[in-house]
């Protein structure tokens, strides 16, 4: 389908493309092992977050939580804010984003372009400062609404109802699904759907491992596990460091022509690991993974060029996924 009533109707339905050059070579006569990329950068604002943003707003409208002219408050590190800004603009809401100041300049410009207002929480202050900022805002504006993507079932439902069925339709032979782990919505929703439909499917999480600044908690008890997270949906969970994520992101564009953000490189790293295991085991595999967004918003980091050491340094302390 190529014609839609509005931009919101054009959300989802993204292409699944094969990676013939990055898929591992199998010995003669062995079953094929293939990698497939779901290009979520083809969504209206260029990331997978358009799906949950649209579902969360629709659900809030239907339940009466959101009323015309309301202000939505979103503590976000980027893509969800951009998606919500677009949806809020088209549906008539005001959006205020609270975000750490160590996100890329492109994200800030995009948000402002879509009409969102931004309140920065200092990166150096760590989560304690963000907590203080959020508390202050909450006190001053008790009428502002939050959609809370980390615990909102509509986030996972967006993927259960759209991403999962699209994958199964386009790749009925799917054996592995690999995606990034942040709010956990993509993996929980898509993972649950595929588990119900595909016997023996492996659901694999790739979690970005940031520089130390990002883990600036005062103690372990300040940690946080998203309410949506249910480990029983997953089979494995990989932690992928900045260096591997950058290396794979560069391979994606250099070898297959896919210009993606760094979280997609981290996801590809985990996808390649399971693909190579399948080759070793002599098993057939169709490994589908998520390209969560394009690389445009990260160009200013400089991490697409130069040595890997330079790139690692450039991304240190940044929320690159």
Partner 1 sequence: MAIEVRVPTILRSYTGGAKIVEGSGGTLTALIDDLDTRHGGLKGRLLTPEGGLHRFVNIYVNDEDVRFLGSLDATLNDGDSITILPAVAGGALGFAAAAAFLGI
Residues in contact with partner 1 by the rule CB under 8 A: 73, 75-78, 98-100, 121, 123, 126-128, 130-135, 137-138, 146, 148, 150, 180-184, 205, 207-209, 212, 214-226, 231, 234-241, 263, 319, 321
**CA-to-CA separations, 152 to 50, 123, 143, 195, in angstroms, rounded:** 15, 26, 19, 21
Choice among 23, 47, 49, 104 that is catalytic: 49
The answer to whether 31 and 113 are in contact (CB under 8 A) is: no
Helices first, then strands: H and E counts in the chain = 10, 10
Q: How far is the CB of 144 from partner 1 (least distance, A)?
A: 9
From the list 256, 252, 255, the residue with the least C-alpha distance to 298 is 252
Q: How far is the CB of 281 from partner 1 (least distance, A)?
A: 17
Q: How far is the CB of 195 from partner 1 (least distance, A)?
A: 15
From the list 194, 168, 152, 180, the residue with the least C-alpha distance to 53 is 152
Q: In this structure, are strands 94-100 and 71-75 parallel, antiparallel, or unpaired? A: parallel
Residue among 133 and 171 whose Cβ is closer to partner 1 = 133
The answer to whether 50 and 294 are in contact (CB under 8 A) is: no
Residue among 169 and 218 whose Cβ is closer to partner 1 = 218
Residue among 16 and 137 whose Cβ is closer to partner 1 = 137
DSSP string spanning 26-37? --TTSPPEEEEE
Which positions ≥6 away from 249 have C-beta within 8 Å? 260, 261, 262, 264, 265, 268, 295, 304
The answer to whether 12 and 162 are in contact (CB under 8 A) is: yes
Angle between helix axes 105-113 and 79-91 (nearest 10 degrees) is 10
263 flagged as catalytic? yes
Residue among 77 and 162 whose Cβ is closer to partner 1 = 77
Q: How far is the CB of 178 from partner 1 (least distance, A)?
A: 13
Residue among 137 and 299 whose Cβ is closer to partner 1 = 137
Residue among 171 and 240 whose Cβ is closer to partner 1 = 240
Which positions ≥6 away from 178 have C-beta within 8 Å? 204, 205, 206, 267, 270, 271, 274, 287, 288, 289, 290
Choice among 23, 47, 127, 263 that is catalytic: 263
Q: How far is the CB of 257 from partner 1 (least distance, A)?
A: 26
Q: How far is the CB of 76 from partner 1 (least distance, A)?
A: 5
- CA–CA distance, 246 with 38 (Å, rounded to integer): 19
89 flagged as catalytic? no
Point out the residues that are catalytic.
Answer: 49, 263
């Amino acid at each position: 389908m190529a014609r839609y009533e509005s931009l919101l109707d054009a959300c989802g339905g993204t292409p699944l493309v094969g990676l013939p050059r990055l898929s591992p070579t199998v010995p003669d006569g062995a079953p094929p092992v293939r990698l497939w990329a779901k290009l979520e950068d083809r969504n209206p604002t260029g990331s997978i977050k358009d799906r949950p943003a649209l579902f969360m707003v629709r659900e809030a409208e239907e339940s009466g939580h959101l009323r015309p002219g309301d202000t939505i408050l979103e503590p976000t590190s980027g893509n969800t804010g951009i998606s919500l800004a677009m949806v809020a603009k088209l549906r008539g809401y005001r959006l205020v984003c609270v975000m750490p100041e160590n996100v890329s300049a492109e994200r800030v410009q995009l948000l402002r372009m879509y009409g969102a207002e931004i309140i920065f929480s200092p990166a150096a202050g760590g989560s304690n400062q963000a907590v203080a900022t959020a508390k202050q805002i909450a006190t001053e504006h008790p009428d502002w609404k939050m959609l809370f993507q980390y615990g909102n079932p509509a986030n996972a439902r967006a993927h259960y109802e759209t991403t999962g069925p699209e994958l199964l339709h386009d790749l009925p032979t799917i054996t592995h699904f690999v995606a990034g782990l942040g709010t956990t919505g993509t993996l929980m929703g898509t993972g649950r759907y595929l588990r119900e439909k595909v016997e023996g499917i492996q659901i694999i999480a790739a979690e970005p491992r940031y520089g130390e600044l990002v883990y600036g908690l005062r103690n372990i008890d300040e940690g946080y596990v998203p309410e949506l997270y249910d480990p029983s949906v997953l089979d494995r969970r990989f932690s992928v460091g900045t260096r591997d994520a950058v290396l794979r992101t560069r391979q994606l564009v250099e070898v297959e022509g896919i210009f993606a953000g760094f979280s997609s490189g981290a996801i590809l790293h985990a996808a390649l690991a399971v693909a190579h295991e399948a080759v070793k085991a002599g098993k057939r595999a169709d490994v589908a993974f998520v390209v969560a967004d394009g690389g445009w918003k990260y160009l200013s980091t400089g991490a697409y060029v130069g040595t890997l050491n330079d790139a690692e340094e450039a991304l240190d302390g940044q929320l690159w996924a």
